[in-house]
Amino acid sequence: MPRVSAARGNARNVPSRWAGQNRRSPGSAERGTACGRRLAAKACLGHFGQVIRGGESPSEEFAASRMRRVAPFIMAAILCAGPGPGLAQEVPANTVGTGCDEHSKSTRSPGAPFKIAVTYNSDVNAELTGGRRGVVYLQRLGFIGDADLARVIGWSGATAHVSVHSIVGTGLSDRHVRNLLTVSGIEAKPALRLFNLWIEQKVRGNLSIRAGQFTAAQEFAASTTANLLVNSTFGWPASFAVDLPNGGPAYPIAVPAVRLAALLDGGRTTIRAGVFAGDPRGRDLRGLAGWQFKSAPLMIAEFAQGAGGDDPAWSVVVGGWLSLDRFAASLPNSDRTVEGNYALYGIVDVRLWRRGGRTARGFARITYSPRDQNLVDRYADAGVALAGLFRRRPKDEIGLAIAAAHISPYRPGGVLTASRPAEIALELSYQMHLTPRLDVQPNAQLILNALDPDHARNATQGRRSAVIFGIRTSFRS
């Protein structure tokens, strides 16, 4: 989503698409093992509930210590369940898009109380011209677990989800290009991170409440068509990643949050609203610690309307966020602090053409932020994705997209200057579906007017451009 290194405050969004269908019933031996698993999980979840309730007013350090103690119990409860029968058939490879994360999707099939999965995503990127030429390698290994709490402890309508990331390597934007529209959606500082840890309760089938640790980028301000693309800005838009403190609640750092979602009109209308910790910076930006709600909240909401069905012909999303935090204005040459900030956004996804097994889809997205306190005051992206273009490769996809981040002309004291050129990213990607579990995605990007994040306050920064070629490899167990 981006999916922006953690140090620069950029964000990564992480989409994926998979489902499981196995409904195999366990034998008698498996039933005994399943009973033991349920008891262990019930004990762990009971401890988790006690920690969440806590005392009347525990200190931040005490609360953070509790969460660090509880995380291994939750992870163990899910991992000890094992993959279960037929996991290879139940969890096909994800169609990796911006940021290469599970995008909070469940790995659990309807007939299994527990499921685990492993994902591997890597990028080899080379800057051919412009900036500091060079080649870098970046990988992200993910461990994902899901539990149906109705089957485990009799908690009707509830599910639990956990994921851990191991990030290794170097990002091209951080090391070479030095730009705002980050080249790779999985780029982040090397770390082992507890990412998702949440429980979701469904009410009457069309209402759900999620609480725990997750990101806004997993569900908000996301285009389904743009999932194919590699550049992180096609997930969590660069305007949000730059303007929010430390990139906002997006990959690679999830934050404490509560989200409410309602499906109306037979699934054609969706309303989402959430409250997130406004600044993801915790005690430890790189490890498993730092689970704390120490900043003022970020509130985000969106309204989505679509044609309905599993493959809707169109969808429209409008939304916005409001930050109540106090942080330094991201304007050039500004030393002032800002209390409160906001942004509005709109997204359109549409099926342009379909014939036989071939489909063409398009998307467009815009964002707006106040120019007197944000470096990126306007942002837009658009693109197309073609599936099944070649008859002998019906599952391959080709994507072409462009994104532009407009730099605010506002200067301290209310002075307006001539606008600087927007930073622009163009991407061409071809995702080859080699096996049900393995995808390889060559991609080329052109970055125009690259703006170095470390010198974003310098209004006289020169223009730079870069030509980039990369190969993404994605595997899912």
The answer as to whether 145 is a domain residue is yes
With cut-offs at 50, 70 and 90, classify the pLDDT of residue 21.
very low
Specify whether the CB–CB gap between 124 and 159 falls below 8 A. Answer: no
pLDDT at 457: 57
Q: List all residues 6 or more positions away from 463 whose beta carbon is below 8 Å from its beta carbon.
A: 421, 449, 450
Does position 140 have pLDDT exceeding 60, yes or no?
Answer: yes
Residue 54 has pLDDT above 50, yes or no: no
**Among 305, 300, 306, residue whose Cα is nearest residue 319:** 300
For the chain, the C-alpha Rg in angstroms (whole number) is 22
Mean pLDDT of the chain: 77
In a domain, 48, yes or no: yes
Tokens 């677990």 label which residue? 145
Q: pLDDT category, 6, cuts 50, 70, 90?
A: very low
pLDDT at site 125:
97
Residue 22 pLDDT exceeds 70 = no
* pLDDT of the residue at 50: 38
- The CA distance from 349 to 351, in Å, is 7
Per the structure, the count of domains in the chain is: 1
The predicted model gives 142-157 an average pLDDT of 94
DSSP string over 170-224: --HIIIII--SS-S-TT---SEEEEEEEEEEEEETTTEEEEEEEE-GGGTSS--S
Tell me which H or E stretch contains 74. Answer: helix 60-79
Phi, psi of 214 (to 5 degrees): -165, -175
Residue 8 lies in a domain: no
**Residue-level pLDDT at 303:** 98
- How do residues 196-244 score in pLDDT, each as one tens digit? 999 999 998 899 999 999 999 999 999 999 999 999 999 999 999 999 9
How far apart are alpha carbons 74 and 71 in whole angstroms?
5
* Residue 125 within a domain: yes
pLDDT in tens, 324-352: 877 665 555 556 676 789 999 999 999 99
> Which residues is 402 bridged to in the sheet?
382, 426
Residue 389 is part of which domain span? 28-476
- Is residue 443, in this structure, part of any structural domain at all? yes
Please check whether residue 150 lies inside any domain of the structure.
yes
In a domain, 19, yes or no: no
> Would you say residue 5 lies in a domain?
no
The pLDDT-based confidence of 56 (bands split at 50, 70, 90) is very low
CATH number of the structural domain spanning residue 80? 2.40.160.180
Q: What is the pLDDT of residue 132?
A: 80
First to last CA, the chain: 22
Q: Give dist(CA 39, CA 129) in Å, integer.
A: 59
d(CA 363, CA 384): 6
**pLDDT confidence bin for 460, thresholds 50/70/90:** low
Summarised one tens digit per residue, pLDDT across range 285-326 is: 444 544 555 668 999 999 999 998 888 999 999 999 999 877
* Structure confidence at residue 441 as a pLDDT band (50, 70, 90): very high
Sequence-ordered list of residues with C-beta below 8 angstroms from that of 95, at least 6 positions apart, any chain: 16, 17, 18, 227, 228, 397, 431, 433, 439
CA atoms within 13 A on the CB side of 3: 32
